[in-house]
Amino acid sequence: MKTQKGICITGIDRFELRDDCVLPEPHEIVSTGAIIRPVIWSACTTDAELAHSGCASFPYLLNKASGHEMCGIVETVGSEVTDFAVGDRVIVCATMPNWRSMLAQEGHARQSSDNMYFGIEYPDRGGSFVEHYYIRDADMNLAKIPDNVTWEQAIMVPDMMQTAFAGVQSLDMRYGDSVAVLGIGPVGLMAICAARLQGASRIYAVGGRKVCRDLAGEYGATHVIDYHEGDIVEQILACSGGAKVDTVLCCGGPADQLNNGLKLLKAGGTLASVSVYYGGVPIRIDPESVGFGYSDKTIKFIQCDGGRSCMQRLIALVAEGRVRPEKMITHRFYGMEQIEDAVNLFVRHEPSLIKPVIFNGKEVR
């Protein structure tokens, strides 16, 4: 068995560069598969939270390569791959839908693995923090990067945009609806852009770090709320003259975020959550928040979207200049060994952080 280097979670809050990550041999590559050489990675709160839990919810991830945000260059393609060729610049899907599954037939392709975790197609193999990343269905789960789109723009698509845009799309907004985005890390910030592109009128953005709040305003939030300054429900209702909001998106935050969102939400409205709930703490809903059951409120737990079609449509918005996700990049690193530094920004809650990228070697625009 051939091996390669990769960044692995090896214990609680511990990332490590190991050299025993699986590297499939040429004959193991299925006819629809491909190998991608990473050019740029990003790290994510999820990486940090997974490590913080020591992979408690997903023990099979331990000691395997981590990582689910990567763009790179195709270096090998299987015999049946028709739409990608060696040398193509590509986005690699974070979730790896199995398009040949019953869940895909039923419209839930992104739920098509029982061992689902972002970007980990094979739990026995690992994620994309490796030298050469193997995917099984290139035609379905890669997307080409248009010439006028940079690597720094493209790397924001597979998780940040796909998660945020899936969340906002699930809100079924009408023109002029208001929305509260609770949590404005990079997913929340992309959700602000997504909400503008759904015709939202008022966009309430709730966050803590100044760097995020500033970018929220630049991205089009009409009201930016600092949760340090008091109860967020009260703050938003003060802005709105007491009117509840039409839709809510929860993007991370404390355990009572979802309940707060429901309190803010109009009767008949929809709340979507793209948060992860690793800590083992139950999600609590107060009966009053859902009108004792009478409120016609809807809650959706939304997974990051996946697949080539969706990535193509989102990268088209970037190519047309409708979304500028690269503005979120606050930190740049160089070389696989620096991935750990990138993840640690999340672990230590660096106040200047929105989103880090790591180039595989030297920077390429």
Near a second copy in 259-288, by CB under 8 A: 267-268, 273-288
As measured in angstroms, the least distance from the Cβ of 361 to a second copy is 31
Q: One symbol per residue from 157 to 186: x for binding a second copy (CB under 8 A), - otherwise; what is it?
A: --------x---x----xxxx---------
Q: How far is the C-alpha of 139 from the C-alpha of 20, rounded, in Å? A: 28
- State the nearest-atom distance from the C-beta of 290 to a second copy, in Å: 5
Does the protein bind a second copy through residue 194 (CB under 8 A)?
Answer: yes
Spatial CA neighbour of 125 closest among 28, 198, 192: 28
- Measured CA to CA, the distance from residue 5 to residue 23 in angstroms comes to 9
Q: Does 4 bind a second copy (CB under 8 A)?
A: no
Q: At closest approach, how far in Å is the CB of 279 from a second copy?
A: 8
The distance of closest approach from Cβ of residue 305 to a second copy in the complex, given in angstroms and rounded to an integer, is 10
User: Pick from 15, 18, 22, 32: which binds a second copy (CB under 8 A)?
Assistant: 32
Give the residue ranges of DSSP H helices in 82-222.
102-105, 138-141, 151-154, 162-169, 186-196, 210-219
Q: How far apart are CA 103 and CA 22, in angstroms?
A: 28
Q: Which is nearer to a second copy, 89 or 308 (CB)?
A: 308
> Between residue 219 and residue 238, which ones bind a second copy under the rule CB under 8 A?
222
Contact yes or no for 259/289 (Cβ under 8 A): yes
**190 phi, psi to nearest 5 deg:** -65, -30
- Taking the least distance from each CB to a second copy, the nearer of 18 and 196 is 196
Contacts of 365 (CB under 8 A, 6+ apart): 150, 151, 152
Counting every residue, how long is the chain?
365
User: Considering only residues 18, 202, 223, 355, which one is a binding residue for a second copy as defined by CB under 8 A?
Assistant: 202
Q: Give whichever of 105 and 148 is closer to a second copy, judged by the CB atom.
A: 105
Residue 278 makes CB contacts below 8 A (sequence gap 6+) with 49, 50, 52, 53, 56, 57
In whole angstroms, how close is the CB of 263 to a second copy at the nearest point?
13
* Cα distances (angstroms) measured from residue 345 to each of 42, 47, 153, 330: 12, 11, 20, 11
Letters for 119-138 (x = contact with a second copy by CB under 8 A, - = none) are ------------------x-
Q: To the nearest whole angstrom, how small is the minimum distance from the Cβ of residue 178 to a second copy?
A: 9
When the beta carbons of 36 and 290 are compared against a second copy, the nearer one is: 290
Q: State the burial class of residue 228 (Cβ atoms within 10 Å of its Cβ: 0-12, 13-18, 19+).
A: exposed
Nearer to a second copy, 70 or 140 (CB): 140
Would you state the structure tokens that stand for residue 221, as one six-digit string? 């939030």
Pairing verdict, β 34-42 and 14-22: unpaired
**Should residue 102 be labelled a site residue for a second copy when binding is judged by CB under 8 A?**
yes
For the segment 289-348, give every residue that binds a second copy (CB under 8 A): 290-304, 307-310, 312-314, 316-317, 319-320, 322
Examine residue 218 and tell whether it contacts a second copy (CB under 8 A).
Answer: no
**CA geometry: angle 300, 96, 151, nearest 5 deg:** 100
Nearer to a second copy by Cβ, of 39 and 189: the residue is 189
Q: Fill in the per-residue mask, 140 to 159: x = in contact with a second copy (CB under 8 A), - = not in contact.
A: x-------------------
Size of the site for a second copy (CB under 8 A): 78
125 backbone dihedrals φ, ψ, rounded to 5°: -120, -50
Among 20, 75, 131, 139, the residue binding a second copy under the rule CB under 8 A is 139
Task: Indicate which single residue of 197, 211, 237, 329 sits in contact with a second copy (rule: CB under 8 A).
Answer: 197
